[in-house]
């Protein structure tokens, strides 16, 4: 599903920083993998490239056989909206929208009718055990509840893969285990490919493969 060949990425700041130095990586459909590496090793950079949120300088990236290179912003957004669900450490919920409105948002961008997106969002909230919290705002939810709302939002477009950047980074250890179990179940039951960036060896151990990045390459 994901194929990377000799992918390079440099940030051109005051001093150029060659972050990814020839990444070769294959992730098959249905895999449940984690990416580990020291702080600054390029994990988020790699995840952003996989999620078509950022460009790379050279090499090859194909997603489901489609070459991802120099896409227009609208084409990139279309691929993201239809293929990829994102989960972030800081949840990235919209604070002035309640839980069900947050979950509905990706469908709004897909032009789905108000009624249909509300019905679907309620279904996903229910699946994640949050039906009774639908009209609560993010600041009224615990960290674990916020992350479950974010997971519902990631799932609602039925993505083929989920990219998660430190999904448990802001959660206590008990809630982390619950969220990881949820992601694991999703992988087992629905075969959604998942790529999880984490610092936490306990989180990585729960995935089926650990990819280690060091000095800009995969070990």
Ligand X SMILES: Nc1ncnc2c1ncn2[C@@H]1O[C@H](COP(=O)(O)OP(=O)(O)OP(=O)(O)O)[C@@H](O)[C@H]1O
Strands, E assignment, 122-176: 161-165
Q: Does 111 bind ligand X (CB under 6 A)?
A: no
Contacts of 15 (CB under 8 A, 6+ apart): none
Q: Does 39 bind ligand X (CB under 6 A)?
A: yes
Rule CB under 6 A: choose which of 5, 6, 26, 40 binds ligand X: 40
> In terms of CB distance, is 10 or 160 closer to ligand X?
10
- Among residue numbers 18 through 37, which ones bind ligand X (CB under 6 A)? 19, 37
Q: Candidates 40-48, 56-64, 113-121, 125-133 — which segment interacts with ligand X by CB under 6 A?
A: 40-48
Q: Does 13 bind ligand X (CB under 6 A)?
A: yes
Report how far residue 206's alpha carbon sits from residue 105's, in angstroms, rounded to the nearest whole number.
30
Q: Does 11 bind ligand X (CB under 6 A)?
A: yes
SS3 state at 208 = coil
Q: Does 15 bind ligand X (CB under 6 A)?
A: no
Residues paired with 196 in a beta bridge:
34, 164
Shortest approach of ligand X to residue 100 CB, angstroms? Answer: 31
Report how far residue 156's alpha carbon sits from residue 128's, in angstroms, rounded to the nearest whole number.
12
Report how far residue 206's alpha carbon sits from residue 34's, in angstroms, rounded to the nearest whole number.
9
Shortest approach of ligand X to residue 8 CB, angstroms? Answer: 13
Element (H or E) spanning 21, and its range? strand 16-27
Report how far residue 157's alpha carbon sits from residue 106's, in angstroms, rounded to the nearest whole number.
7
Return the residue matching tokens 């920083």.
Answer: 17
Size of the site for ligand X (CB under 6 A): 12
> In terms of CB distance, is 13 or 111 closer to ligand X?
13
Report how far residue 141's alpha carbon sits from residue 122's, in angstroms, rounded to the nearest whole number.
17
Q: Candidates 39-47, 91-99, 132-140, 186-194 — which segment interacts with ligand X by CB under 6 A?
A: 39-47
Shortest approach of ligand X to residue 199 CB, angstroms? Answer: 6
| Contact footprint for ligand X (CB under 6 A) | 11, 13, 17, 19, 37, 39-45
């Amino acid at each position: 599903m994901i194929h990377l060949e000799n992918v390079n990425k440099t940030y051109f700041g005051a001093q150029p920083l060659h972050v990814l130095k020839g990444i070769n990586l294959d992730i098959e459909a249905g895999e449940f993998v984690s990416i580990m590496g020291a702080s600054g090793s390029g994990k988020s950079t790699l995840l952003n490239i996989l999620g078509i949120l950022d460009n790379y300088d050279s090499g090859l990236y194909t997603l489901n056989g489609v070459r991802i290179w120099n896409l227009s912003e609208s084409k990139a957004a279309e691929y993201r909206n239809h293929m990829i669900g994102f989960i972030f450490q800081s949840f990235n919920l919209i604070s002035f929208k309640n839980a069900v409105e947050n979950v509905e948002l990706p469908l709004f961008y897909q032009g789905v009718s108000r009624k249909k997106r509300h019905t679907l969002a309620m279904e996903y909230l229910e699946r994640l055990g949050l039906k009774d919290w639908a009209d609560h705002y993010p600041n009224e939810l615990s960290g674990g509840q916020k992350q479950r709302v974010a997971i519902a939002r990631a799932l609602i477009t039925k993505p083929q893969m989920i990219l998660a950047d430190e999904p448990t980074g802001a959660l206590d250890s008990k809630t982390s285990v619950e969220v990881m179990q949820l992601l694991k179940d999703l992988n087992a039951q629905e075969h959604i490919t998942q790529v999880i960036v984490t610092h936490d060896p306990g989180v990585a151990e729960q995935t089926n493969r650990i990819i280690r990045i060091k000095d800009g390459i995969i070990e």
